[in-house]
Structure 1
Amino acid sequence: MRLATIMETSAAVSATRSRTDKTALLADTLRLAGAEGEDRLIEIVADYLAGTLPQRTVGVSWRGLRSLPDPATQPTLTVLEVDEALTRLRSLSGQGSAGARGAAVRDLFSRATEQEQRWLVGLITGELRQGAGDGVLLPAIARAADVPETLVRRAVMLAGLTGPVAAAALTGGAPALEQISLEVGRPLRPMLAGSEPDVAAAVPGDRELAVETKLDGIRLQIHLDREAEHPVRLFTRSLDEITDRLPEVVEAVLSLPAARAVLDGEVIALRPDGRPEPFQVTGARTASSADPAELARTTPVTTYLFDLLHLDGRDLVDEPATTRWEEIDRLAPGLVVDRLLTADIQEAESFFGQVLDRGHEGVVVKDPQAPYAAGRRGAGWVKVKPRRTADLVVTAVEWGSGRRKGRLSNIHLAARDPDSGELVMVGKTFKGMTDAMLAWQTERFLELETSRDDWVVRVRPEQVVEIAYDGVQTSRRYPGGIALRFARVLRYRDDKTADEADTLDSLRTP
């Protein structure tokens, strides 16, 4: 299959706001890939249609793609050729790799037309946004393979990645999808929480719910298999493996009385008095290039667990939460987060206050009967924090003035349009920034720069920032039709991708 075919579909998907039309366009292209009967091709096509790079990174920055060779006059590149070239590019390391990487980039891009060059730059830099998120891609896979969408969604939940599920659906149909199950050592998508502004909204008082401490740390999915070469593997919420960064977590997991398990939890750096360190301290444990053992000694993190998805041959994702809690309480009684079961709103609010007094972020209210809905945000889990916050994407930054002169200050904030998948501006802010944050963001956003004028530096939409705000008001100034009131920066989120940013709909919800 030619790369140009994917690009044509991408352009058509981007040009329409109709979810039905997007689904039909994607299904047609997936069907073409499936007709060739090659699993790897289908996987790549599914990823490319979603604007996702299968290799995640290939070691080439935006600056490395600024100077490209003259383009080809005719489109000849195939999808598999591009994938092979990018895989080779990612494998280059060590002495002389910079020169070899530059040569590899020139070789690939010299075979691409001008349109293909622009598309490949967007794919490699993560700037390729085509409106083909799960909301339309998963129905498109189901339509292309003529299988129930529920089967596709469950398979993606358990497999973590969309590409292999697309290949299974198109080459093996429903029976192949039904064979996909939870595998210890392969991360599945994490369950996500909805949000409510206060405890009373999350706890209606008509039935017993669980109120759990919400920690402001790093979400971890933990896989234990004592017979594997690496008995413990740790994955972030974006399914990146960070096992080597957290040796004390590995040690804690190995102390559990289980042979095989998959757990969901959080790690956080605590002060000697038991109060949490700022998130940046915890986040540095995965971002720093320092020796992990030294970091574990000087800035240790504490492991907390709140869910159990598999235990010694038994999958628990479909079991009610009460069953999973009973098992995890027996397995790791000293590591489980504080949890209160109650139907009393005042009791829940009192617990919420105690959590905040200890310096933690808030609570998560959980339905005791809910299964583990991996990859979904719904009513089974509802987070409550003491202020309205949103995870947004920085798309541009303005140079500061006065004492901020020479530093990038006022950031442009964008939310996701849930229909198109595009990023839509909803405000700006320069509030809440410390001097250290100003210095950091100046360096960070110059690294992400794509263009500039005298006042504004436009950046690749990669950096997620957590914003606190007092409310939302209608606005003619911004294309989303809304603007954030009194927005201020809480922190930058290196543990989230732009695809995980909040939507316009979530901001509009009171």
Structure 2
Amino acid sequence: MLLADLAVLTDEVAGLSARTGKVAALAASLRSLGSDEIIPAVGYLVASPRQGRVGVGWRGLSTLAPRHAVESTLGIVDVDAALNRLVAASGSGSAAIRTATLTDLAERATAAEWDFLSRVLIGELRTGALEGVLLDAIASASGRPAAAVRRAAMLSGDLGATAVIALTGTETDLDEVSLQVGRAVLPMLASTAATPTEAIGITGTASVEYKLDGARVQVHRDGDDVRVFTRTLADVTHRVPEIVEAVRALPARRLILDGETLSLDEDGAPRPFQDTMARFGSETAREVALRPWFFDILHVDDRDLVDEPLSVRRAELDRVVGDLRVPGIITADAEAAEQLSRDALAAGHEGVMVKALDAPYAAGRRGKSWVKVKPVHTFDLVVLAAEWGSGRRRGWLSNIHLGARDESGEFGEEGGLVMVGKTFKGLTDDLLRWQTERFAELETRRTAMTVFVRPEVVVEIAIDGVQRSTRYPGGIALRFARVKAYREDKLAADADTVQTLRAMLKG
């Protein structure tokens, strides 16, 4: 299959609103793949090449000035081979080799193919072809039961390998995929609810637990060998010796645990999220210690627990990890759940998770067995600029720059506007069309990628919180910002202040 075919497919899938349509389009293409194309193609569809991070960012891509091919000749396997060469380049002269490899790849690609591949490499391909949709497409293309495909993907932790087994193997091959200590498992995900009361209404009697503002970890122990994986299944064992030591001290020889890690301040309160992530991502720093908390157990001493209800898993978790378990209660009482949520927020955590006691561990889908509840904050901010979109959003102004009022002049002119973040999330096609037309009327200047506008448009933005950042002049960045609505009834003078946003910083 040509890379162009995959690029066209992603645009098609992105333009479909119904899940069934996305699944059908993906399944049709999966059926046409050669056996050596399946793994790389699946990786490109979810913007996660099998080589992992290849050390290419937006800045590196933007410095290239290739003369793209006029006709499509670049195959999926060709791209896979080029990415292998990128990953293999090391030592003296490796920078030149990487630049030459990238340039050659860019010149063999058409402009449309290179746009697609660039978005894959920097993780900005947004088609709606998330793992859950792709798993259903694999099941449809192979004629295998969706439950069997999902289970194999969960236990293997490898979407591409699961696709190969489903599309080229037998049903028995799929069923033989099993849980293995030391091999990362796809994590179970949660849906959302506005309140603990609403969540309890969904799950019934539940384990209501603190939702920690940390990094998710999956820890495997086989004797003295302990391995720690991230949410994306990257092995980070060497970065977290304190977690390794904590799990080695537990009363079991073989374990698979699911949990979170975060750093604490001197008073035992959670440090800001970015402090935890800076420590979690560091190859060498040890000044800030990470403390693990576990909320699930998938295996203990040769006993698989993924098919057991949470009530059984929770009892085993209590026995094995003791005070390393995430705080929580078992209740069917909505007020008790609300109180625990208040306690969690008061302690500096994100909110609560509400988990049905009768549910097995099921990876990769946001079902109703796990429900997360955390407060959402909304603020009125001012649009300062917008960036031209790519892919399906090409020709529209998409990513908007957001400003808050500087009430005291702490960051510039008193009463002026200071940038605090960007977002493209929550923008429907209608909003994209509207803002492209509206911002053209307000344009003051532009660069190749960005249109700057008179600061007159107020937009209501929902966020989960803020964190310290040197990226924006206000010294903060918005966490999970998304557009709720444009507020044409408000003036820029009515916008919220950067001081109000900064007051949300922990500590």
TM-score, normalization by structure 1: 0.76
Q: Does structure 1 residue 201 correspond to structure 2 residue 198?
A: yes
Unmatched 5+ residue regions in structure 2?
Answer: 380-397, 436-457, 490-494
Secondary structure at the residue paired with 2:259? strand
Q: Give the 3 Å change call, closer, same or farther, for CA 244–418 of structure 1 in structure 2.
A: farther
- The equivalent of 1:449 in structure 2 is none
Match of 1:440 among 458, 465, 471: 471
Match of 2:401 among 392, 397, 405: 397
- Does the 8 A contact of 2:203 with 2:368 survive in 1? no
- The equivalent of 2:369 in structure 1 is 380
Mapped partners of 2:165, 2:317: distance in 1: 33
Amino acid at match of 1:108: L
Match of 1:128 among 125, 128, 138: 125
Query: Aligned ranges for residues 142-161 of structure 1 at < 5 Å?
Result: 142-161=139-158
Q: Please state how far the C-alpha of 1:273 moved relative to its aligned partner.
A: 2.7
Q: Give the 3 Å change call, closer, same or farther, for CA 281–178 of structure 1 in structure 2.
A: same
TM-superposition CA deviations, 1:199-243 (whole Å, max 9, x none):
33333599643222222222111111237xxx1111122222221
Q: Give the 3 Å change call, closer, same or farther, for CA 223–174 of structure 1 in structure 2.
A: same
- Does the 8 A contact of 1:58 with 1:90 survive in 2? yes
Q: Does structure 1 residue 271 correspond to structure 2 residue 272?
A: no
Secondary structure at the residue paired with 1:95? coil
- The equivalent of 2:277 in structure 1 is 283
- Does the 8 A contact of 1:413 with 1:427 survive in 2? no
Range with bigger deviation, 88-97 or 254-263? 88-97
- The equivalent of 2:383 in structure 1 is none
- Does the 8 A contact of 1:467 with 1:489 survive in 2? no
Q: Does structure 1 residue 115 correspond to structure 2 residue 104?
A: no
Secondary structure at the residue paired with 1:249? helix
Q: Give the 3 Å change call, closer, same or farther, for CA 466–164 of structure 1 in structure 2.
A: same
Q: Does structure 1 residue 323 correspond to structure 2 residue 354?
A: no
- The equivalent of 2:390 in structure 1 is none
- Does the 8 A contact of 2:205 with 2:332 survive in 1? yes
Q: Please state how far the C-alpha of 1:428 moved relative to its aligned partner.
A: 6.0
- Does the 8 A contact of 2:423 with 2:481 survive in 1? no
- The equivalent of 1:41 in structure 2 is 37
Mapped partners of 2:501, 2:181: distance in 1: 38
Mapped partners of 2:196, 2:295: distance in 1: 20
TM-superposition CA deviations, 1:66-124 (whole Å, max 9, x none):
22332234332221121011121022233332222111112222322333222222222
Secondary structure at the residue paired with 2:323? coil
- The equivalent of 1:222 in structure 2 is 219
Secondary structure at the residue paired with 1:192? coil
Range with bigger deviation, 347-356 or 269-278? 347-356
Query: Aligned ranges for residues 42-81 of structure 1 at < 5 Å?
Result: 42-66=38-62, 67-81=64-78
Amino acid at match of 2:276: T
Q: Aligned residues: percent identity?
A: 40
Q: Does structure 1 residue 299 correspond to structure 2 residue 302?
A: no
Mapped partners of 1:284, 1:226: distance in 2: 30
Mapped partners of 1:331, 1:474: distance in 2: 51
Mapped partners of 1:31, 1:337: distance in 2: 44
- Does the 8 A contact of 2:421 with 2:478 survive in 1? no
Structure 1 runs of 4+ aligned residues shifted over 4 Å read: 204-207, 386-390, 398-408, 416-419, 424-434, 442-445, 472-477, 484-492
Q: Give the 3 Å change call, closer, same or farther, for CA 372–444 of structure 1 in structure 2.
A: farther
- The equivalent of 1:234 in structure 2 is 228
Mapped partners of 1:355, 1:373: distance in 2: 26
- The equivalent of 1:83 in structure 2 is 80
Mapped partners of 2:352, 2:95: distance in 1: 47
- The equivalent of 1:343 in structure 2 is 332
TM-superposition CA deviations, 1:329-376 (whole Å, max 9, x none):
221213112222233334444433333343333222222211112222
Q: Does structure 1 residue 314 correspond to structure 2 residue 303?
A: yes
Q: Give the 3 Å change call, closer, same or farther, for CA 224–70 of structure 1 in structure 2.
A: same
- Does the 8 A contact of 2:401 with 2:423 survive in 1? no
- The equivalent of 1:168 in structure 2 is 165
Amino acid at match of 2:254: R
Q: What is the RMSD computed on CA atoms of the aligned residues? A: 3.9
Mapped partners of 1:346, 1:433: distance in 2: 25
Amino acid at match of 1:41: E
Secondary structure at the residue paired with 2:172? helix
Amino acid at match of 1:246: V
Mapped partners of 2:274, 2:71: distance in 1: 49
Secondary structure at the residue paired with 2:470? helix
Q: Please state how far the C-alpha of 1:251 moved relative to its aligned partner.
A: 0.6
- Does the 8 A contact of 1:147 with 1:173 survive in 2? no
Secondary structure at the residue paired with 1:376? coil
Q: Please state how far the C-alpha of 1:321 moved relative to its aligned partner.
A: 0.8
- Does the 8 A contact of 1:409 with 1:430 survive in 2? no
- The equivalent of 1:104 in structure 2 is 101
- Does the 8 A contact of 2:214 with 2:262 survive in 1? yes
Q: Please state how far the C-alpha of 1:486 moved relative to its aligned partner.
A: 10
Q: Please state how far the C-alpha of 1:408 moved relative to its aligned partner.
A: 6.9
- Does the 8 A contact of 1:209 with 1:368 survive in 2? yes
- Does the 8 A contact of 1:431 with 1:489 survive in 2? no
Amino acid at match of 2:174: L
- Does the 8 A contact of 2:184 with 2:233 survive in 1? yes
Amino acid at match of 2:37: L
- The equivalent of 2:446 in structure 1 is none
Unmatched 5+ residue regions in structure 1?
Answer: 446-462, 478-483, 493-510
Q: How many residues align?
A: 448
